[in-house]
Amino acid sequence: ILMFPPNAQGRVNLTSADAARLKPEGLLNDSLIEFYLKLWLQDLKERAPDLAEQVHIFSPFFYKLLNKKEYGFRCVRRWTSKCDLFAKKYVVVPINESMHWYLAVIYEPEHVLLPPPTHPIPEDLSPMKGGPGEPASGGTRLSAIPDRTTYIFLMDSLGKNHTYTAGVLKRYLMAEATDKKGVNPTSQVQTKSLNVSVPTQPNLCDCGLYVLHFVDEFVCN
């Protein structure tokens, strides 16, 4: 019933079944998440083109393929053939596991290409806790983030900890640096994963909506 961007490569087609998921208590699927993020980025290009140029959004299918043990990086190696990922400031990775959406944002991946920083890096945060609609405890503020370090921010409206996911994305960045830049980043302190204090959902169906909101808030504010 709808496609975006129209007549363009990588367009997303929405069906009536997809639209039915927009009703109360509906669960957003891959198509709806990808459709909105493409529409959001297009709107950002019109409102703030310089900021939009710093953003790269992966399809919800990206992490699914990357996390396949038998293929891994080989599955997604060509996904950035026309994009220099290390020139972006924000790399958005929507993730669905066990019918639950959460978000990873890779912040300033360029630092993976540099020698390891000499400043101390905060420890990984413990699992987040918080009531419905309230920020989960245990997060950190962006103002406290030191320079020259690539961060993988994890945002989950159920307050879950995703250490494994952070490891998968960290290994991806290292493989991407080797493949696209000829750099072999072996230091364990060039990337850091952090749980962000985010509002928690009051039900079991709104996780997709929270992910879309997190993207806009993180990048624009």
Note if 179 is an active site residue.
no
- What pLDDT was estimated at residue 126? 41
Rg (CA), the chain: 17
Decide which of 69 and 131 is more confident. 69
**Tokens matching residue 147:** 């320079």
Q: Given a cut of 70, is residue 157 above it in pLDDT?
A: yes
Task: Over range 123-152, report the average pLDDT.
Answer: 59
Q: Of 119, 80, 116, 83, which is closest to residue 188 (Cα–Cα)? A: 116
pLDDT, the chain, mean: 87
- Split at pLDDT 50, 70, 90, the class of 3 is confident
- What pLDDT was estimated at residue 129? 45
Q: Which helix (H) or strand (E) holds 23?
A: none
Residues 5-40 pLDDT 10s: 777 777 888 899 999 999 999 999 999 999 999 999
Task: Over range 172-177, report the average pLDDT.
Answer: 95
Note if 100 is an active site residue.
yes
Decide which of 140 and 70 is more confident. 70
CATH of segment(s) 49-220 = 3.40.395.10
Domain residues of the chain, as ranges?
Answer: 49-220
Characterize the bridge pairing of strands 55-57 and 90-97. parallel
Identify the active-site residue in 56, 162, 206, 207. 207
**Tokens matching residue 106:** 């890779």
Decide which of 188 and 97 is more confident. 97
Identify the active-site residue in 18, 56, 111, 156. 156
pTM of the predicted model, to two decimals?
A: 0.85
Q: Of 82, 200, 182, which is closest to residue 137 (Cα–Cα)? A: 200
- What pLDDT was estimated at residue 122? 53
Identify the active-site residue in 100, 205, 213, 216. 100
Note if 156 is an active site residue.
yes
Residues 70-114 pLDDT 10s: 778 999 999 999 999 999 999 999 999 999 999 999 999 999 988
Residue 176 and residue 104 in contact, taking contact as beta carbons nearer than 8 Å? no
**CA pair distance 205, 101, nearest whole angstrom:** 10
